[in-house]
Structures are given as structure tokens and as C-alpha cells.
């Protein structure tokens, strides 16, 4: 099992460590609900150094990205980030990812930890025009500083004007005295904030500097447990749960990152699927009756007929009610439709709602 550069720091801080995507990761420090609330109301720090980073460089870098990703990366400009996915050849998704345009010929792709090797091989297969590819995952640390007080908590550490940074943009600059840190106005929580990328050797120094600067703002370390509840309240997909090699980006509600104005892997088949209409859709739902929906629980209709399955579910700390996501037959996908989750052979009533479940006031 791999460690991040900060594993010992997490253990000393009393984190409960678990195996995740081949890494030894902190799942919680003081408790998921308390950590979740810290991010929604103040500011928290996640070590997400297990994520993968690839650099693609050269005259044909954009062309390669255009061929393997579903979104239109030609719309990117220097300092802009784009959410996208890697479609496979069978109608499913190899991975979802972020594409960073560093300059006209240089891009960084950020991929899920569990898919680093798979994604590398997939992109390499299409690299027929000599694009220089570097996998910098093992030497790159990544911290997500999330919450409404993130900009205030971090501003003393950098000359980059954090407050004025637009969502899904990034800048390179000095951070906590370290040069060439990539500061990105992105995140997976819906609470605002930043993700910062830097070389492993600076990890402990940067971690300590963030906590010192953030102390007046109530900054706390946050584990992967709260990361999951935060992303689910926003209706963000998690690879391996809500999307995978068998789910089409259109079924998953990712039509907005599936652009048919260019050629990409399996574009023709996906366009045909769009025109023919979908047989199932990924939906959000909230429980009406008591019960917590869990991954892979069956979704049934009033007569007990199977109409789908739960992909993600939890008791929402912000909303104090159980919520979930899952695929259902298209006839049941309309907002307001009543469905039932099969929990220990009992039909527990739920209602289709449109994510995000949590809306910041």
C-alpha cells in the first residue's frame, strides 16, 4: 500500500487510516459530521495526494486530448480548467478527469487514484503523434483547502489574489515561500476553495504553514469520509460508484461535458444513443420514510418490480435526512416521482429530486 508524503502527519494528528485506491488514507480525524460541518461553515484541509497527474506536451497535445476526452478542450485558455471524461469504446467511461491548460502546448490531466495506470495506458494507446507524456503522480502532492473561509485563511501565504480567482481557473506562484505551486480554484465539495499542487518534498512545510495561517479561521484537517458526504450533497459523481466502464456519460447526466462538435472515442455511438433516447438515467433522490440507501441496494416501484439500483447514499449531515443517487428506468426519472429503496426486503419510500441536494444560502 502506498503512502502520501503526509501519512505520518495524519497518524500523529490521530486520523483513522484506511486503504483507499491502493493508498493509506485518513478517513476521519474527529468524526465525519463535525468535519463535514467545518467545510460547509469555515475551512478544512484534505490530503488528496493519491490523485494522478499527467503532463502532456508538444504540438499535438491538444489534438490527443480532443480525441480521448468528451469535452471540447479547444475552448481552454492558459490558466483555465475543464471537467471532462474519457469515454471507452463500449459506451462507458474509462474515468472522469480535470484538464488544465498550462500553455498552448502543455496540459496537465488530473485523474482518479484508482485509475492512474488504466488511464495512462488508455491515453498512451491513442498517442500516435509523438506527444510527450509524463506521469508525475508519485512526486506530486495535492491539498484541497475547502470552505467559505478558504481564501481568507490562505491569502497571507501567497501574492496571488485568491478572492478574485474565478471558479475553474488556476495560477502558478509562490505559496508559503515555495516557488512554482499551482493554485487552482476547484474542489469536490461545493463549499468553494482551492486545490494546490506541489512537489512532495514541500508537503510538511506547506501543511504546517496552512494550519498556522488558518488557525484564526478555525481550520481543521478533514478525512475522505466527509469528502464523500460533501460531494454527494452536491450530486457530484464518484468514479466506481456513480460512473464506471458500463455507464454512458449521457446516462450519468454528463451530456454537458459531451460535445459532438468534434471527433472523440465512441462519439458516433454516443450521439446515436442521444438521438434514440436513454433507457435509464442517473437521478438524485431523498428518502421519505426512515432508512439509509446504500451502494447497490435495489430501487423498485410500488409493486416491487426492480427499476434500478442505488449508486451512492448517505445520511446528509447538512440536511439531516437521507439522500442518494442511482440509475432508474427512464419512465421513473422525472422529478417528484415516488420510488422505493429495497432495504432488508422492506420497501422504503423515496422521491426523485434534482441535485444539488444542498444549496448554500
CA distance 350 to 284: 10
Instruction: Express as a percent the part of the chain with pLDDT over 90.
Output: 99
pLDDT-derived band at 76, boundaries 50, 70, 90: very high
User: In the chain, what are the domain boundaries?
Assistant: 6-50+138-233, 279-356
- What torsion, rounded to 10 degrees, do the Cα atoms 322, 325, 331, 336 define? 40
* CATH code assigned to 279-356: 2.40.30.110
- Is the sign of the CA dihedral 110, 176, 204, 46 positive or negative? negative
CA distance 258 to 256: 6
pLDDT-derived band at 126, boundaries 50, 70, 90: very high
Q: What is the pLDDT of residue 256?
A: 98
Q: What is the pLDDT of residue 32?
A: 98
Q: What is the pLDDT of residue 189?
A: 98
Average of per-residue pLDDT values in the chain: 98
Q: Is the pLDDT of residue 145 over 90?
A: yes
Q: Is the pLDDT of residue 361 over 80?
A: no
CA distance 4 to 49: 6
Q: Is 303 exposed, middle or buried (0-12, 13-18, 19+ CB in 10 A)?
A: exposed
Q: What is the pLDDT of residue 264?
A: 98
pLDDT digits (tens, 9 = 90+) for 77-125: 999 999 999 999 999 999 999 999 999 999 999 999 999 999 999 999 9
Residues 42, 149 contacting (CB under 8 angstroms): yes
H or E stretch at 181: strand 178-184
SS3 319: coil
Are 6-50+138-233 and 279-356 equal in CATH topology?
no
> Is the preceding peptide bond at 356 cis, omega within 30 degrees of 0?
yes
Beginning with the edge strand found earlier in the chain, give each strand of the sheet holding 93-103 in spatial order: 81-87, 93-103, 106-111, 52-57, 132-135
Average pLDDT on 329-354 reads 97
Residues 4, 11 contacting (CB under 8 angstroms): no
pLDDT-derived band at 219, boundaries 50, 70, 90: very high
Average pLDDT on 150-174 reads 98
Q: Is the pLDDT of residue 303 over 80?
A: yes
pLDDT-derived band at 360, boundaries 50, 70, 90: confident
Residues 137, 21 contacting (CB under 8 angstroms): no
Q: Is the pLDDT of residue 304 over 80?
A: yes
Q: What are phi and psi of 163, to 5 degrees?
A: -60, -35
Q: What is the pTM of this model?
A: 0.97
CB atoms within 10 A of CB 30: 16
195 is in an annotated binding site: yes
CB within 8 Å of 145: residues ≥ 6 apart = 43, 44, 45, 46, 153, 154, 193, 194, 195, 196, 210, 214, 219
CA distance 269 to 276: 10
CA distance 341 to 361: 30
CATH value of 6-50+138-233 in 3.30.428.10, 3.30.1360.120, 3.90.1170.50, 3.30.465.10 = 3.30.1360.120
pLDDT digits (tens, 9 = 90+) for 8-33: 999 999 999 999 999 999 999 999 99
Task: Give the angle subtended at the CA of 93 by the CAs of 81 and 98, to the nearest 5°.
Answer: 10
Amino acid at each position: 500500500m502506498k503512502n502520501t508524503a503526509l501519512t505520518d502527519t495524519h497518524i500523529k494528528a490521530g486520523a483513522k487510516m484506511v486503504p483507499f485506491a491502493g493508498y493509506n488514507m485518513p478517513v476521519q480525524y474527529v468524526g465525519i459530521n463535525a468535519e463535514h460541518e467545518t467545510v460547509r461553515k469555515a475551512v478544512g484541509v484534505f490530503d488528496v495526494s493519491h490523485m494522478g497527474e499527467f503532463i502532456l506536451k508538444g504540438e499535438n497535445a491538444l489534438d490527443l486530448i480532443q480525441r480521448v476526452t468528451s469535452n471540447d478542450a479547444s475552448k481552454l485558455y492558459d490558466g483555465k480548467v475543464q471537467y471532462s471524461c474519457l469515454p471507452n469504446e463500449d459506451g462507458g467511461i474509462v474515468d472522469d478527469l480535470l484538464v488544465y491548460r498550462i500553455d498552448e502546448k502543455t496540459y496537465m490531466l488530473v485523474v482518479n487514484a484508482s485509475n492512474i495506470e488504466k488511464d495512462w495506458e488508455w491515453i498512451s494507446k491513442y498517442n500516435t503523434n509523438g506527444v510527450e507524456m509524463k506521469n508525475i503522480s508519485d512526486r506530486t502532492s495535492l491539498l484541497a483547502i475547502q470552505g467559505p473561509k478558504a481564501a481568507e485563511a490562505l491569502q497571507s501565504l501567497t501574492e496571488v489574489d485568491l478572492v478574485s480567482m474565478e471558479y475553474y481557473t488556476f495560477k502558478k506562484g509562490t505559496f508559503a515561500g515555495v516557488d512554482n505551486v499551482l493554485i487552482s480554484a476547484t474542489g469536490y465539495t461545493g463549499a468553494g476553495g482551492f486545490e494546490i499542487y506541489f512537489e512532495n518534498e514541500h508537503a510538511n512545510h506547506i501543511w504546517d504553514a496552512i494550519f498556522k495561517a488558518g488557525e484564526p479561521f478555525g481550520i481543521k484537517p478533514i478525512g475522505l469520509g466527509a469528502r464523500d458526504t460533501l460531494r454527494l450533497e452536491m450530486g457530484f459523481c464518484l468514479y466506481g460508484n456513480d460512473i464506471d466502464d458500463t455507464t454512458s456519460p449521457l446516462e450519468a447526466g454528463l451530456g454537458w461535458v459531451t460535445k459532438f462538435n468534434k471527433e472523440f472515442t465512441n462519439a458516433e455511438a454516443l450521439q446515436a444513443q442521444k438521438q434514440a433516447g436513454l433507457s435509464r438515467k442517473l437521478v438524485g433522490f431523498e428518502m421519505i420514510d426512515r432508512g439509509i440507501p446504500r451502494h447497490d441496494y435495489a430501487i423498485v416501484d410500488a409493486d416491487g418490480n426492480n427499476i434500478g439500483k442505488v449508486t451512492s447514499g448517505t445520511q446528509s449531515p447538512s440536511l439531516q435526512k437521507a439522500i442518494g443517487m442511482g440509475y432508474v428506468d427512464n419512465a421513473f426519472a422525472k422529478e417528484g416521482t415516488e420510488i422505493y429503496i429495497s432495504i432488508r426486503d422492506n420497501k422504503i419510500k423515496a422521491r426523485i429530486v434534482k441535485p444539488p441536494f444542498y444549496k448554500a444560502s
